[in-house]
Amino acid sequence: MLLSKTQINIIVAIALLICFIPFVSPAFALIMGIILSLLGIKNKEINKYTSFSLKASIILLGFGMNLTQVISASKTGFYNTAISVLFVMFWGYVLAKILKVDSKTATLISVGTAICGGSAIAAVSPVINAKHHQTSFALIVVFVLNAIALIIFPVIGHYFHLSQVTFGNWAAIAIHDTSSVVGAGATYGAKSLEVATTVKLIRALWIIPLSIFIALLQQDKSSGKPKIPWFIGLFIISILIANFFTSYATLFSYLSWIGKRGMVIALFLIGSSMSLSDIKDAGFRSFLMGVLLWLLIGVSSFIVLYNHF
| 145-178 residue pLDDT tens | 888 888 899 999 999 999 999 999 999 999 988 7
The fraction of the chain above a pLDDT of 90, given in percent, is 31
Output the pTM of the full model: 0.79
Q: How many Cβ atoms are within 10 Å of 95's Cβ, its own excluded? A: 20
Measured between alpha carbons, how far is 139 from 88 in angstroms, rounded to an integer? 17
Model confidence band, residue 266 (pLDDT cutoffs 50, 70, 90)? confident
**Which residue blocks in 245-275 are alpha helix, DSSP H?**
249-272
* pLDDT, average across residues 250-267: 90
Specify which of 43-52, 55-64, 268-277 reaches the highest per-range mean pLDDT: 55-64
User: Who wins on pLDDT, 30 or 153?
Assistant: 153
pLDDT value of position 15: 92
Q: What's the pLDDT tens digit per position in 206-218?
A: 888 888 888 887 6
* pLDDT, average across residues 111-131: 88
Q: Residue 67 above 80 pLDDT?
A: no
Across the chain, the runs of DSSP E, i.e. the strands, are: none
Contact predicate 280/135, CB 8 Å: no
Closest CA to 236 of 63, 53, 56: 63
Contact predicate 84/305, CB 8 Å: no
Specify which of 99-113, 137-151, 196-210 reaches the highest per-range mean pLDDT: 99-113
Q: Residue 222 above 50 pLDDT?
A: no
Measured between alpha carbons, how far is 181 from 101 in angstroms, rounded to an integer? 27
Q: Residue 302 above 70 pLDDT?
A: yes
User: Who wins on pLDDT, 228 or 247?
Assistant: 247
Q: Which of 67-81, 118-132, 140-154 has the lowest mean pLDDT?
A: 67-81
Contact predicate 137/105, CB 8 Å: yes
Residue type, 134: Q
Neighbouring residues of 260: CB distance < 8 A, sequence distance ≥ 6: 57, 61, 64
Tell me how long the chain is: 309
Model confidence band, residue 224 (pLDDT cutoffs 50, 70, 90)? very low
Q: Which of 97-106, 195-204, 294-303 has the lowest mean pLDDT?
A: 195-204
pLDDT value of position 153: 94
* pLDDT, average across residues 12-19: 92
User: Who wins on pLDDT, 229 or 35?
Assistant: 35
pLDDT value of position 221: 46
Specify which of 3-7, 94-98, 278-282 reaches the highest per-range mean pLDDT: 94-98
